[in-house]
Structure 1
Amino acid sequence: MERRLFVLAASAFIVGAVLYSAWVTGQFTTPEVDRTEGFVSELAAGDQPWTHLFRVSGGFSGLACLAGVALAPRTRRGWQGWLALAGFAVLTGAQNLFPLDCAALSDPVCGFGELSSAHYLHLAAGTLATAVVLAAMVLLSLRWRARVAWVITGLTLAVTPAVPLAAAVGHLAGLADRAQVTLVAIWLVYVALRLLLLDDPVRTGRLHVREQGSGPAVIISPGLAGAWSPWDRVADGLARSHRVVRFDRPGTGLSSPSPEPPTLYDEAARLAALAPAHPEQVTVVAHAMAAWHAEAFARLHPLRVSRLVLVEPACADRRGPATSRRAIVAWLPALGGTWGAAALARVAGPAAYRLLTGAPDREGAFRKGRVLAGVAGEWLSCRDMAAELRRIRAVHAFPDVPVTVISAGRRSHCHERLASELDAKYIRLPDCGHHVQLDDPDSIIAAVI
């Protein structure tokens, strides 16, 4: 799947390079723009017959390059170069929103009248785009240390000063400008080729686990988007007399992502792997959607469970599996490793974490793109897991172990029905928020002890 993502990113850069080179056709469609003296941007001037065609091609060139950066795999170093390349894409798109009023170098009359603000915005955006793409080329060449990269970068750095110099002299400005944009297009193709030759699979296999205390085992399984850290107060209280195990599921918190979509059987097997060996039994404290994992674990491994404490358990969806979502989930581990996911996580991650868990993201986990992708994968897999839970319930009886269902806030018929089905003790906390582990950790501790 990662390879397909690399191909998509490379294709985006190639499309951007082709559209960026649309000026080649302008040599034949717009003869009014002088080939040796007029700038390429004059083809999209407001007084030219094909202005809309070249403005659209330039705008989509910027969008394609931005998509290429967003889909490119994130690396530990070199973010400055990719950020500069994204800035070039944005400025290229913005430049075509504000066309020149007229062909400044090709039309002697242009400039004698009053020019609009769009004309000056176009010139400013074009100048900034040139500076930013040169910075991107230098920074990425320093990162890659490839001879071809430095050759293209060196030629572009040499040609760029010739453009304003030729314009000032009044001769060959068009040729210098065309040489510069050609080299930029070649650079975009070179970036695409590097992506096609790249091999950087998603790193998997590391599960973050935290243990504290000694005594009877207790596993704390957080809900959707949850992590081990918001359960500190519960874990500290239980650790006085129990061995408490907390963990982050694959792709969330500090754990590595999994290349496979999450399933209920996998989550039950993960709890079994974290639980002590038989004949010792374990108490499982599960929050929200993790209550499904805990129930499946109890049904599939009845001899290894001593008690379940289900905190604000999620209501199982009665609809069938969502087959269309599986294709999206399969792409998420690779998408989580892209620059686009990293940028989204930096901007929205901490706020989303606080909204979902009620606690600050102390570990900075939600500032990582792979975590957002992991949470999205769990959410998209909810219907499949609910269907798996119904199948497990139909085949495997629930063991004779004590169960406590803790419900917070308004009355929940779903929680009452679940407590009745599992013959559980039902505790309702009307004055407590949905984050019981933060608002009333003592109630959870009391249910375990």
Structure 2
Amino acid sequence: MVVEGSGPPVVLSTGLAMAWFDWDPVAALLVAAGRTVIRFDRPGHGLSGPATAPPTAAGEARRIAGLLDALGPVGAAPVTVAGHSIAAFHAEAFARLYPERTAALVLVDGSVEEQPHAVLPTGLRTGAARALGRALAAAGLPAAVGPAARRAAVRLSRTGGPDPAARDLVRRCYRTGRVWRGILLENARYPDMAAEVLALRSHRPLTAPTTVLAGYDGSGSAAALHWLDRQRGLAAALGARFETVAPAGHLVMLDRPDQTARAVLSASTGAPAPPQRRA
């Protein structure tokens, strides 16, 4: 866990296969704006220890609450929670399960599953993920190609350039079988967490002001426009403010840290949304 700055607290949670340092540009802007910024790596991600159990949305919400508890007075104030990609499930679960601790919720190009389902049973998917993780580590693939795979994935998920993360941090994380096992295990539980959040929506109201940020690369492709439509649908389902971030790939916080930080600040202060460009 990394804690910086002072002022109202903000939790930044990364998506699948990412790490705390992927929020660096946004964190710097929030600290400069007078916020306490809290970042962390989930088990099996970044610099944290291995994932010993499959993740759940409620479990990740409890993890955020536990991190805040560990911070004492800093974590006692209502917090703005921002979740990217799959961590949007975790952030929304936190806001629904801990409404008294949530000042605002920001979903940054968050995962959307209108009707989550899985082809294979949960146990089979989990077992296959564990076995594949062990096999990759035994073959030495994380050490051989892990950092290069991370950098390639980041480039493909951006519109604005290469991976800005420090090379030593990337090597420390992505050369380890621990991280790749964590990625596979979390990915295997993706449909379960999506279904869990959908169930929470039926009996745990969302009371915090919510913003949905959708990355848009400006291409006008059918896939990009369909993604925007799904993000708009998510915003409508949550009664949230909708904002397009463009030009940006899926890694919105790297392509447009300025707009991402403004959205977090606006969510926590109740400021009006900036004018929207239409796609």
The TM-score with structure 2 as length reference comes to 0.79
Identity of aligned residues (%): 40
Matched, 1:227 2:44: no
Quick one: which of 98, 101, 116 aligns to 1:319? 116
Quick one: which of 413, 419, 424 aligns to 2:240? 424
Quick one: which of 88, 100, 105 aligns to 1:303? 100
Give aligned pairs, total.
Answer: 240
Specify the code of the residue in structure 2 equivalent to 1:238: L
Matched, 1:378 2:186: yes
- Deviation sequence 1:200-231 (CA, Å, 0-9, x none): xxxxxxxxx11111111111000011101111
In the alignment, the residues of structure 2 paired with residue 341 and residue 425 of structure 1 have an alpha-carbon distance, to the nearest angstrom, of: 47
1:275: how far off? 2.7
Matches within 5 A, 1:27-426: 209-240=1-32, 241-275=34-68, 280-316=77-113, 318-321=115-118, 324-330=121-127, 332=129, 336=133, 340-341=137-138, 343-358=140-155, 359=163, 360=165, 362=167, 363=169, 364=171, 365-399=173-207, 401-409=208-216, 410-411=224-225, 412-426=228-242
- Name the counterpart of 1:47: none
- Bigger proportion of residues as strand: 2
1:432: how far off? 1.9
Q: CA RMSD in A?
A: 2.2
In the alignment, the residues of structure 1 paired with residue 23 and residue 57 of structure 2 have an alpha-carbon distance, to the nearest angstrom, of: 22
Pair member with larger Rg: 1
In the alignment, the residues of structure 2 paired with residue 326 and residue 261 of structure 1 have an alpha-carbon distance, to the nearest angstrom, of: 10
Unaligned runs of 5+ in 2: 156-162, 217-223, 266-279
- Relative to structure 1, the CA distance from residue 333 to residue 416 in structure 2 (aligned partners, 3 Å threshold; closer, same or farther) is same
- Name the counterpart of 1:157: none
Q: Secondary structure at the match of 2:26?
A: helix
In the alignment, the residues of structure 1 paired with residue 44 and residue 195 of structure 2 have an alpha-carbon distance, to the nearest angstrom, of: 22
Specify the code of the residue in structure 1 equivalent to 2:46: G
Q: Secondary structure at the match of 1:239?
A: helix
State the 4+ residue runs in structure 1 displaced beyond 4 angstroms: 276-279, 330-339
- Relative to structure 1, the CA distance from residue 341 to residue 443 in structure 2 (aligned partners, 3 Å threshold; closer, same or farther) is farther
In the alignment, the residues of structure 2 paired with residue 320 and residue 356 of structure 1 have an alpha-carbon distance, to the nearest angstrom, of: 26
Specify the code of the residue in structure 2 equivalent to 1:244: V
Specify the code of the residue in structure 2 equivalent to 1:407: A
1:258: how far off? 2.4
In the alignment, the residues of structure 2 paired with residue 319 and residue 213 of structure 1 have an alpha-carbon distance, to the nearest angstrom, of: 38
In the alignment, the residues of structure 2 paired with residue 322 and residue 220 of structure 1 have an alpha-carbon distance, to the nearest angstrom, of: 31
1:447: how far off? 1.1
Contact conserved, 1:252 with 1:371, CA < 8 A, in 2? yes
Between 1 and 2, higher relative CO (CA 8 Å, sep ≥ 6) is seen in 2
Specify the code of the residue in structure 1 equivalent to 2:209: P
1:430: how far off? 3.4
1:349: how far off? 1.1
- Deviation sequence 1:382-410 (CA, Å, 0-9, x none): 011111111111121111x2211111113
In the alignment, the residues of structure 1 paired with residue 198 and residue 122 of structure 2 have an alpha-carbon distance, to the nearest angstrom, of: 19
1:341: how far off? 4.4
- Bigger proportion of residues as helix: 1
Q: Secondary structure at the match of 1:419?
A: helix
